[in-house]
Amino acid sequence: MITWITTIGWSPFAVINPIWAYCKEYEEYPDRIIIFYTPYKRIKYNLHICKKYITEILKSYNKKNFNENSIEEVEIENDNIQPYADRLSKIIQREKNQRTDKIILDMTPGRKYMSAINVYYGYSIAEIPIQVYYLHLEESKYQDVPYPLSPIIKNELIDILESSEIFSKDLEKHSEINEEKEEEKLEKEILKNIKTVDIKKDYLMILSIKKGFNTKTKIRKFTFGNGIIIRGHELDNILKRFTLDNLVSAHFIRDDNLKYKIYNLTEKGKYFLRDLGKKNINGKQEGD
């Protein structure tokens, strides 16, 4: 069972759209939604809107019988830090005792301190997998627009805890690709000779996985370090293509309370990388 915890604020779609995005991007869906709200007239009105949307969304995606009874309302007397922190702690403890498979904390709506508390609990509780998500909008004009009606390139559902790996010491150590080793010189030469941006993206992504940059965040860090920016949606599409073409395999691993999707290079992927390098080492382009 997956429990999704969120907070009602001034924008209903800040609550609705992250759930919608998660359902579209992943093969698993929340079984239960827990919504924090305060007893203000505007907030209660937004709560009613959110429940209607969320129920229809999850009835569509989740083939189990999701209904309004699957949504739990948690009223806190005000939006100060202490009431929220206390109630959230108790709910997480309850979910842990009920052996919930995973908790998802949505930090898109609500106040900044709520986001900080979500991240804190995500890192500090090891007995149950917790993920913290944030739906990033590139333009604020889509803030009150239903998720399917906003351009896919203008928003990105970010796994905050997984993304924080970019600050790890191991990543910093491995990302120093300027050492003058023969293999690295060769990789730079190949990269220099690839003129087509899409081929360059393919090469860098496959190379990053070979080098152990095997989560989405690490792949993006590696490609950025080589002068290529790949947005989240485009990265997902390329990884799906690699997986379908059997160039990479994907599986989840558990690290304490964190759950990551890891990509590994297959034998076919190794041949692909080798052949792509051969075609470009002497300045020749694929298809020339």
Q: Is 2-164 in CATH node 1.10.10?
A: no
Beta strands in the chain (DSSP E): 2-7, 32-37, 71-75, 102-106, 130-137, 155-159, 248-255, 258-265
Tell me: pLDDT of 263 over 60: yes
Contact 127, 1 (CB under 8 A): no
Given this chain, do its domains 2-164 and 170-280 carry the same CATH topology? Answer: no
User: How far is Cα 132 from Cα 22, in angstroms, rounded to an integer?
Assistant: 12
Contact 70, 63 (CB under 8 A): no
Contact 128, 120 (CB under 8 A): no
Q: Coil, strand or helix: which one is 151?
A: coil
User: How far is Cα 187 from Cα 32, in angstroms, rounded to an integer?
Assistant: 48
Q: Name the least confident of 6-10, 103-107, 255-259, 265-269.
A: 255-259
User: How far is Cα 121 from Cα 281, in angstroms, rounded to an integer?
Assistant: 49
Predicted TM-score of the model (pTM): 0.69
pLDDT at 167: 44
pLDDT at 253: 74
Tell me: pLDDT of 257 over 60: no
User: How far is Cα 66 from Cα 232, in angstroms, rounded to an integer?
Assistant: 29
Q: Where are the domains of the chain?
A: 2-164, 170-280
Q: Which helix (H) or strand (E) holds 111?
A: none
Rg of the chain over all Cα atoms, to the nearest angstrom: 22
pLDDT at 32: 93
Q: What is the DSSP letter of 98?
A: T
Q: Among 76, 59, 77, 60, which Cα is nearest to 68's? A: 59
Residue 34: band (very low, low, confident or very high) from pLDDT cuts 50, 70, 90: very high
Higher per-residue confidence, 64 vs 237: 237
User: How far is Cα 99 from Cα 97, in angstroms, rounded to an integer?
Assistant: 5
Which CATH code, of 3.40.1010.20, 1.10.10.10, 1.20.1370.10, 3.30.70.100, is assigned to 170-280?
Answer: 1.10.10.10
Tell me: pLDDT of 107 over 70: yes
